[in-house]
Chain A
Amino acid sequence: MSSLSITPATLEFWLKPGATYIQSYQVKNTGQTPVTLSTSVERWLPQGFDGGLSYPGLPLDLNFSLTNSDLHLGSSFILNPNQSRQLVLKISSPTALSPRDLYFTFFVNQQLTATDSNTTNLVRLGSHLLISVSNSESAPQKITISDFSFSPFIHDTFLGSATFSGLIDNQSDFFSKIEGAITISKNNSPLLQMELFPHNVLAHHQRTITCLNDTKPVPCRLGPPLWPGFYQASLSLKNSKEVLTINFLVLPYSLIAFLFLIFSFYHLIKYIKLHPARH
């Protein structure tokens, strides 16, 4: 068995060109056998719009090293069962680096040793660093709503739930958090507000929206019951004061369908009684 944990899982910070940042990580072997590990740093880019990423082999552009007296990046160390080790990562920005975002993962990598002749599975565990290199911590934001929709357009009064979908676009050079809400109104009276989950939307990239439910991201769903009629849903962003409004309709079509079935069945029975089959 191989079982590892790392803390913290993600870091986000600003770094001035020419400055240095130091971060400590706690890596623990929560398994039952000793494990040999090494460390590495890789740069990543976002993939898709739901927080996924990929490692295309880009140059780091920042300088990474471990300040542990007995370790450097790439060297091996052993963790015994239930043993923790603090790793101190030093990140330095070249003075001439142009302001922009850079995204990295600090990896702990399980290593094969001479005694692992039967080992066929190895583990790599990563913790992200989202770094904005800039002389200023208050860079202008360019957050916009590139898509906002509701499906299905006609929502049933009594049954099922419908989902709001949206895409937030970040056209700036630095990542931002999504801050906003979806407000449901009828006849211009607000009825319900769903706060958006504060996902990161990376530089020159997009991110799908989810809603906040007790610190967790959940789909933005609207459930029954709702009075029939026309409704408005407004997606508003605090970062940019942008608001996008869509309309949708609520009808009791499940009830209508049920009554129609009863009505049809009644008339079918009546027809059969009036026109019995002839032999």
Chain B
Amino acid sequence: MNQAPFNNRELSWLDFNYRVLEEAEKKSNPVLERLKFLAITASNLDEFFMVRVSYLQDKSKALSDSMDDSGLTAEEQLPLVLEKAKQFQLDQIAILDSLLLKMREKNVNLLAWDELSEGQQQYADNLFYDEIFPVLSPLAVDPARPFPFLSNKSLNLGIKLDSGEDEPFYGVLQLPSILPRFIQLPSNQGWDFLALEDLVVRHLSELFSAYPVLAWGIFRVTRSADFDADDETEDLLEEMIRTLKKRKRGKPIRVEVSHGFDEELWLFLRPLLRVSKKHVQEIPGRLDLAAFFKIASTKGADELRLSPISPIQAADFIGYENMFEAIRQRDRMVHHPYQSFQHVQDFITQAASDPDVLAIKMTLYRVSGQSKVVSALERAAEAGKAVTVLVELKARFDEENNIQWAKRLECAGCHVIYGVTGLKTHCKITLVVRRESSGIRRYVHLGTGNYNDVTSHIYTDIGIFTCDQTFGMDASALFNQLTGFSKGSDFNRLVAAPLGIRSFLERCIDREIENHKNGGSSGIYIKINSLLDGAIIKKLYQASQSGVPVRLLVRGICALVPGVKGYSENITVRSIVGQLLEHSRIYQFENNGNPLVYLGSADLMPRNLDRRIELLFPVSDSVLRQRLLDILELMWQDNTNAREQGNDKIYRPVDKQGKSLNSQKALYRMAKKELKAAQKLVEETLS
């Protein structure tokens, strides 16, 4: 093989989604947990079409002959991707069908109208008249009227009506997204649901009362969302609002139609939807499987889901009411969601109400709608503290949310900055400046994940709290750069993209190669979400060729192909997909027996290394570093949720040798054990 082996980005992503789908198939998972995984794959796939397929289509239309690292042009990729996505959706439906049967065994029933009891039918009809009918807008479609705009990811009914003449009339009915997709019905035993479309179809003749309904079909439009705001603009906020409006009206990129759609009706509708045949997918079952989240999270059915990993107190903060006091003693680490995100919120909240705190600075990428972090920042600003918040308006699909609370923060008196021109600020860092008897002390929180209290329950992330003055200096320097106070400068401890991470990692890999050549101990272990960067992959191939053992734990896209003779025999690639979304990024270099461990916000994709402000930060506290090494080792031992990529690019479950190990459950146990030990120590000290 002359050319280095690479997986195509899009196909690799679809492989990842297949791994999530496998969780929906996995019999050892409780049935509603499986349904949740199925819904996740559907939601993922929608986003994939909106962004990646749309991008490929544009690139293909532009007749771009540039090839990706796997040697494919956009034109070559598109049919491969569409074919695989088509098969994926068929597989989803097959799994859904089997899941619906399994659910029935557990008394979770998605019922057809005829299966409803009389009382349930009465209930559904009443609901229709009281709540659904008033918000429906049946629309006649003919050449004299413009075709109505059908919003992204909406479920629609196409209707053929008997005009009484040769040519039928046509109509369209959009099912508004404010309505629940599945209606929970009163039930004596278990949980019964009726799909919204099934109820509406029952009443079609009332909605189009002037003409008899001849045929109907359900279809769903997915629109392109591959728009970026022009951040050269003077007012990024306004530009982002404009971009969001544009995105809502993006061109259709996929139309899913229900099986058996009336041919004449479809021949009429398709040209009006302006979508080519290759972008139409006939679904032999329900559309919009993401909506099954609703059923998957049915209240009272906890035994049908995995027992939740409820965040507990971090052992590092046991015995301390004041977080600053704890951090002053030594660096602290919190591993979410095993350990509660509340500690991060407390850090901000305590800073906001602490009279000695002079300033708080923070980067925000994605936060929840009811964020306590945002409320604390507001309070801090109102209390007269200097609060600077970098709100990244370009965080995809969170733009609208971000605009809302960015405005709120501004109203409270915070100094809000809307990102840096040309770069997305993806790093997660908070700086608290506090006046103490020993002078000014800076407290820094650095994390691998967003300051989002909702996703922190599902995403695995790690955060470090420190008041090491070199980190403080670096944090100040970083915020000065972000706020435009100063130009780029060298950091003491932090490594930042776009200027530093790429070269830093290359140096680290080179050093491992050198150590190996000199007979020292060498090794690379990287845990990330995506590995796509060609230059870094080639560097890892180089390390493998030199004999350096490389372990990669990549949750999602992985363009690197392991185990290829002459390239990657010393590289192993695994992926963990489980109850929690693996999200932390950890970089470990053996460094001749003195391991270097870095955490950070950066994956290894060109966008992370070249077009975003990302941070890697070293964990130098020996206790914390050892904990991280243990965590990494434990994850590598996972033989329940881990899959390993073969040199044929296929992921297979890791061999179960010996006792089965679910790393996420084991880490939760580890957190509990640490907590217990810390509590015991405090009790002993007090007594």
A and B associate: no
B residues with a Cβ closer than 8 A to A are: none
